[in-house]
Structure 1
Amino acid sequence: MLPFQQLVLFALSALLMVLIPGPNMIYLISRSVTQGRKAGLISLAGVITGFVFHITLVSFGLTAVLMAVPYAYTILKAAGSLYLLYLAWQTIKPGSKSPFAGNARLAPDSNVKLYTVGLFTNMLNPKVAVFYLSLFPQFIHPEYGSVLTQSFLLGFTQICVSCTVNFLIIIFAASVTQWLGANPKWVKVQKWIMAGVFGGLAVKMALDKGK
């Protein structure tokens, strides 16, 4: 069993990870403001499932294989970059609505789509897999027992931290809908900022050498 202080130290590392703005945070905020807290929570369920996917790969050693095969990493990285570019285009394409506009006339996404986009936003981000692969070995020690159990324990800890922080983000994002809707100039600028952020993340991911 991992010592309590080891779990606390890992939890702090996980906290730093979730506080860094990225595709997951941006998507959760946009869905929460556009459709409300329920939509944000459904999206969060998709994001958490994506974490479970990555954690499972790490726990069974599959991520190590993925990172050891350059073409496999490249394919995943390319898929993630293309998806972020797609999100950037969806933000600024003619007739598009700002995800932060809080416009009641904006057609809501179905629960299935909310969950699916949240899932793939996380699954197609190779940096999540790299984070787990680089951090888990620093906290896992055979003398503490089953390596598989330790790995899942670390993953559960990270999910708890991420879920708590993102839940608070969703609550806050949904509460500012009316204020954002009352500032149309800010909303217009924000659409281009969002597109720039998505595009920048896509370029950064595409240029990242991984290891």
Structure 2
Amino acid sequence: MPAFIPDLPVILAFALTTIVLAITPGPDMALQMSRAINYGREHGLATAAGAMTGILVHTCLVALGISVLIVAAPTAFFVLKIAGALYLLYLAWQAITQGGGLRLAQKAAKTPNVAQSYLTGIGINLLNPKVVLFFMTFLPQFVDSHDPAAGQKLLFLGAEFILVSIPLAVLTVFAAEWLAGTLVRSTWVQRALNWSFAAVFTAFAATILFAEGRK
């Protein structure tokens, strides 16, 4: 077996843990559902693809040791928290002002293109300090730091995280599209859903502000 591939028990344990984490609600999931409901399946999938790209970046940063520097530096981590919180608040505002009418009933005030949804998915993932903390503390636990191939195994596990998460993200988007197609029948329901997404983004923004780096 190539040196960069972890042992089978490690691969299976990591896959199981990834499933649990992937189905745990977070900003990425909320954004994917919001985009799918408001703009359609392709936007939800593009947002999910953006989030997966962000995961790949986080994995590379961990493998290179850069995430440790970000979390260990109070100023850098503080700036990351503020940027992440402000971005989520912007998405909350956008959900209210630009998503007041869902796609099935009427066009939203401004419909982004698929590329914009993809970039938004990347942004919400990269600017989430909790994701930085997660990958810095969680991913290395599955690799021996003294292993000469530790960096390569971290990249392998990051790729595994993405592969396991993709089907779950697709199911989330399809479920959101089903919600839009079967439950959204009135302007009141549309507004209630978008205000709910705005509340979720705001709550995550507040949670991010309390994330702590290394003392």
Query: Could you say whether these structures have the same fold, taking a TM-score greater than 0.5 normalized by the shorter chain as the test?
Result: yes
Structure 2 residue ranges without an equivalent (≥5): none
Compute the TM-score of the two structures, normalised by the length of structure 1.
0.90
Match in the other structure for 2:99: 97
Query: What RMSD in Å do the two structures reach over aligned CA positions?
Result: 1.9
Is the 8 Å Cα contact of residues 64 and 151 (structure 2) preserved in structure 1? yes
Cα distance in 2 for partners of 1:19, 1:121 equals 17
Mapped to 1, the partners of 2:101 and 2:170 lie a distance apart of 18
Q: Runs ≥4 in structure 1, deviation > 4 angstroms?
A: 142-145
Paired positions, count:
209
**Which ranges of structure 1 fall in alignment gaps of 5 or more residues?**
none
Equivalence for 2:14: 10
User: Structure 1 residue 87 and structure 2 residue 72: aligned?
Assistant: no
Q: Amino acid of the residue matched to residue 111 of structure 1?
A: V
Paired with 1:100 and 1:180, the residues of 2 have a C-alpha distance of 11
Name the SS of the counterpart of 2:175 in structure 1: helix
Greater shift after overlay, 50-59 or 13-22? 13-22
Tell me which residue corresponds to 2:78. Answer: 74
CA contact (8 A) 1:102 1:178 kept: yes
1:112 corresponds in structure 2 to 115
C-alpha contact 1:102 1:180 (8 A) present in aligned 2: no
Quote the residue 1:175 is aligned against.
178
Q: How do 1:43-54 and structure 2 match up within 5 A?
A: 43-54=47-58
Q: Distance in 1 between matches of 2:190 and 2:183?
A: 7
User: Sequence identity, in percent?
Assistant: 31
CA contact (8 A) 2:42 2:114 kept: no
Q: Distance in 1 between matches of 2:194 and 2:107?
A: 17
Displacement of 1:196: 1.6
Aligned mates of 2:212, 2:189 — CA distance in 1: 36
1:81-135 deviation line (CA, Å, top 9, x unaligned): 0111111122234xx4347564342242112211111110111011111111111
Instruction: Give, as a single letter, the amino acid of the residue that structure 2 aligns with 1:8.
Output: L
Instruction: Give the alignment partner of residue 200 of structure 1, picking from 190, 199, 203.
Output: 203
